[in-house]
């Protein structure tokens, strides 16, 4: 986890929006199909209709269906177009008695509007809230049944009118149920994703806080405890001078602990070279410094921070434990490569902190000695690198700090 999780959260879930768009496109598609099925019945009923209604009603309704389909394809104005079509259909159904030439001319015929009742119910399911869509799905078939009983609607027997209305109700309610279930499922998925994202964000915050506490604890160990240990063991003027210098550095580190960079940006490897050279020149103990390979190129700043902190701890351990006669050195080697953009980047680097001092048995280090485990090894593990301590009693110590691109 990183701060990027908190600064750049994942996009909000959109399952409900996708479901609504898909359902609207299906209603638009099937609207054309059912409208096409009604054309033969429309042609046969033209003689029974007034000319202005015979042409006006199909133009208005088919135009509304076309508008619904176009809006569903482009993803804009879907609810408005669907709602307009559903309302226009109800108005047309209610005014149908005015469309026939004479009531007697329509007896025995079926209004062609029956073929697009289902389309109207589907449009209402998309455009209106579930409660009002349910009212529409029940009310429109009832209005159609009433129309069928009238001479203008064909003067059908009651059982035929009920059958037509029931058939329209079954189809319309089935569509509404499918729409409602899919919307409900999509909404639950979105809520679950939002909950998961919030939980992840909280976990990221806790993890960041734990890392910050670990960093502060490590600073305290690296600087303050090392200074206190050095002060307790100092007996010569050189030791006391080293202790004073370490104390000054500890105060600076503690004062700047809150302001340290998170290492998210890339920096030049020369920054690490300069800091290690200054480290070798600052301490009173004589420390050699050498650079091998090409140190041009950039790498993550957090890697520089981790490697430098590990180097500081390795040098301080050597100054404290290797003995006054030990020779010490810091050697930094690196390799670089070019990224796809042509910029130089560091592909790997190694820092070797060596001394010719007393040495020690690495397998016998007590568990409460945190210098090797936390300040050196875990600092490098935290940035994708590694650190190895090689030492033999009487033969000195080598601390190898390594990092390779692609492993962090």
Q: List the domain range (segments joined by +) for residue 285.
A: 264-408
Clarify whether residues 160 and 275 are in a common domain: no
| 288: CATH | 3.30.565.10
Q: What is the rounded distance in angstroms from the CA atom of residue 123 to the CA atom of residue 349?
A: 65
Clarify whether residues 179 and 268 are in a common domain: no
- Is residue 190 packed enough to be buried (19+ CB in 10 Å), middle (13-18) or exposed (0-12)? middle
Q: Percent of the chain having pLDDT more than 90?
A: 15
Mind listing the pLDDT tens digit for each residue in 135-166? Answer: 999 999 999 899 888 888 888 899 888 998 89
Clarify whether residues 18 and 121 are in a common domain: yes
Clarify whether residues 37 and 155 are in a common domain: yes
Mind listing the pLDDT tens digit for each residue in 227-244? Answer: 665 565 556 665 566 666
Tell whether 161 is covered by a domain: yes
Helix axes 158-219, 130-149, angle to 10 degrees: 170
Listed residues 142, 163, 195: the one ending a domain: 195
Q: What is the rounded distance in angstroms from the CA atom of residue 308 to the CA atom of residue 287?
A: 16
Say if residues 383 and 307 touch (Cβ distance below 8 Å).
yes
Mind listing the pLDDT tens digit for each residue in 64-100? Answer: 988 988 998 888 899 999 999 999 999 998 888 888 8
Say if residues 124 and 136 touch (Cβ distance below 8 Å).
yes
Listed residues 164, 180, 195: the one ending a domain: 195
323 in the Ramachandran plot: left (φ > 0), alpha (ψ -120 to 50) or beta? left
- Is residue 197 packed enough to be buried (19+ CB in 10 Å), middle (13-18) or exposed (0-12)? middle
Number of domains in the chain: 2
């Amino acid at each position: 986890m990183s701060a990027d999780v908190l600064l750049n959260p994942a996009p909000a879930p959109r399952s409900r929006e996708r479901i609504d768009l898909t359902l609207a496109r299906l209603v638009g598609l099937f609207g054309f199909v059912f409208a096409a099925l009604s054309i033969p019945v429309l042609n046969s009923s033209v003689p029974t209709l007034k000319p202005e209604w015979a042409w006006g009603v199909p133009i208005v309704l088919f135009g509304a269906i076309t508008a619904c389909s176009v809006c569903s394809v482009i993803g804009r104005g879907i609810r408005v177009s669907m709602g307009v079509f559903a309302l226009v259909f109800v108005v047309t159904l209610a005014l149908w008695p005015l469309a026939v030439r004479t009531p007697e001319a329509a007896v025995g015929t079926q209004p062609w509007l029956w073929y697009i009742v289902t389309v109207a119910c589907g449009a209402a399911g998309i455009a209106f809230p579930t409660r009002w869509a349910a009212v529409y799905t029940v009310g429109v078939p009832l209005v159609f049944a009433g129309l069928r009983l009238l001479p203008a609607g064909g003067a059908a027997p009651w059982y035929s009118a009920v059958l037509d209305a029931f058939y329209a109700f079954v189809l319309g309610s089935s569509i509404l149920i499918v729409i409602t279930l899919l919307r409900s499922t999509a909404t639950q998925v979105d809520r679950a994703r939002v909950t998961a994202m919030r939980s992840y964000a909280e976990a990221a915050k806790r993890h960041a806080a734990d890392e910050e506490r670990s960093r502060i604890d490590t600073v305290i160990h690296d600087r303050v405890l090392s200074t206190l240990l050095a002060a307790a063991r100092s007996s010569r003027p050189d030791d006391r001078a080293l202790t004073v210098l370490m104390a000054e550095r500890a105060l600076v580190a503690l004062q700047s602990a809150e302001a340290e960079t998170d290492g998210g940006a890339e920096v030049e490897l020369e920054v690490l070279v300069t800091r290690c050279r200054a480290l070798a020149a600052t301490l009173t103990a004589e420390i050699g410094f050498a650079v091998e390979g090409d140190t041009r190129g950039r790498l993550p700043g957090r890697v520089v921070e981790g490697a430098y902190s590990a180097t500081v701890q390795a040098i301080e351990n050597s100054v404290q434990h290797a003995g006054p006669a030990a020779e010490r050195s810091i050697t930094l080697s690196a390799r670089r490569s070019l990224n796809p953009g042509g910029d130089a980047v560091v592909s790997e680097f190694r820092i070797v902190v060596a001394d010719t001092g007393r040495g020690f048995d690495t397998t016998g280090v007590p568990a409460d000695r945190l210098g090797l485990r936390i300040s050196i090894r875990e600092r490098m593990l935290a940035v994708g690198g590694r650190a190895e301590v090689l030492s033999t009693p009487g033969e000195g110590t080598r601390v190898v700090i390594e990092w390779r691109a692609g492993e962090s």
